[in-house]
Amino acid sequence: MCLASQRAGEAGEGKGERTSGGGGGEGGDGGASGEGGRREGAAASAPHQHPVRRVLVLGGGDGLAIREVLRFPQVEHVTLVDLDPAMTELFRTHPNLVQLNGNALNSPRVTVLNKDAFLWVKENKQPFDAIIVDFPDPSNYSLSKLYTTTFFRHLYNNLAPGGVAVVQSTSPLVARRSFWCVDQTLRAVGFQTLPYHVYVPAFGEWGFILAAKTPLNRPRTTLPDARFLNAQTLPTLFEFPPDMDRVPTKVNTLNNHALVRYFEEEWANYAH
């Protein structure tokens, strides 16, 4: 199910930055700074929910999420939309980075599009069985727009019937209101959600949200060769202790960007 717990150790490539993701406005420094564990947390949830052949990855230009998606033999094609061509080219060609992502970006099953994801999902007409939303944390308005009702409504339209999306949603421990604001915003556009959290070395507790057009069941199986998860530990990912449990929040929109305020206040408290 969630590779942040299974494989963070092998990805665990140093010290992560809380706002890093893929390239440019949508990605970051990837596995080289410990992002691998967080990326893998987003990568392997969706394919367990139903038969998946076409996968969309938004952000994640380092190829780490795609590396995990390609482990599912039923996946026929992956489309990566990442803003920064320098990022994707680096992780396509640099020998050390190619080794890190398992040469994922050069796979014949992968198409790389260097586009603005906010605009691309609005224009795309081809639905996907699974969507992985792997953006940086919403630390400013340009990133917050990728977590608004406007964006999530387009995401909803990009999802095939029976499909499922997974959204990287910051730390429910450090940024509790931020995490539940993302969940509330997904619900506001019609998604059914299933939040979960994992422990990622160099990041601590990190949160993700599964989203679908119909109610979701909790996954009961893990990936082959899982290093950290088993049938006993998997259910704990969906249980939130009191200090991470749901709190009321506003819905994040292009008009209010409530998520930016939550995020900055919560991480400022953590920094001090």
Distance in angstroms between the alpha carbons of the first and the last residue of the chain = 34
User: Which residue of the set 62, 84, 129, 134 is catalytic?
Assistant: 134
Query: What pLDDT does 272 receive?
Result: 59
Using DSSP, state whether 55 is helix, strand or coil. strand
Is residue 2 pLDDT above 90, yes or no? no
DSSP assignments along 130-177, one per residue: EEEEEPPP--SHHHHGGGSHHHHHHHHHHEEEEEEEEEE---TTTSHH
CATH number at 21 reads 3.40.50.150
Query: Structurally, how many domains does the chain consist of?
Result: 1
Q: How many CB atoms lie within 10 A of CB 270?
A: 13
Query: What pLDDT does 47 receive?
Result: 52
Query: What pLDDT does 96 receive?
Result: 98
DSSP for residue 257: -
Distance from C-alpha of 84 to C-alpha of 248, rounded to nearest angstrom = 35
Q: What sign for the dihedral angle of Cα 254, 150, 192, 24?
A: negative
Distance from C-alpha of 27 to C-alpha of 87, rounded to nearest angstrom = 8
Residue type, 102: G
Query: What pLDDT does 30 receive?
Result: 40
Is residue 11 pLDDT above 60, yes or no? no
Residue 224: pLDDT band with limits 50, 70, 90:
low
Distance from C-alpha of 180 to C-alpha of 169, rounded to nearest angstrom = 9
245 is catalytic: no
Query: What pLDDT does 227 receive?
Result: 61
What proportions of the chain, in percent to the nearest 5, are helix, strand and coil? 40, 20, 40
Taking only the tens place, the pLDDT of each residue in 169-200 is: 999 999 999 999 999 999 999 999 999 998 88
CB-facing half-sphere around the CA of 20: CA atoms within 13 A: 20
What range does the domain containing 237 cover?
A: 3-271
